[in-house]
Structure 1
């Protein structure tokens, strides 16, 4: 997945974390990217398949949860030491 596409998908994912009403499925992300391609913001050839987006969501969710847990643990440790 090209970096600019990945950045768009990350934004869509994070917006869904902040506001559950904006949470998008892999198909909805694909449709959003397709719309951007029709407006010539991105290249249509760069859009991953829905299954690829689904796999990316699963991997990103796992990574996001792990990094959020690590940050929370570090904050808890630092507040304990002050």
Structure 2
């Protein structure tokens, strides 16, 4: 995701990332335009979920290590995840 600090989400296309705020906002406007095509019969509920914004943190793997006898997992490697600043 390096270099892609902005996102847009809509229920039909999911989560997408963009390099600029302008690109993310344009994609959100385009998604609303798509839903507008059905607005003659009443707006679909999904349109209320369209959003865009700036990504502040992302998930990173931390603490990767081989499993030891105290671990209850059957995995060969043990790790955790945490949010880190971009």
Q: Provide TM-score, normalisation by structure 1.
A: 0.35
The structure with the largest alpha-carbon Rg is 2
Q: Which has the higher helix share?
A: 1
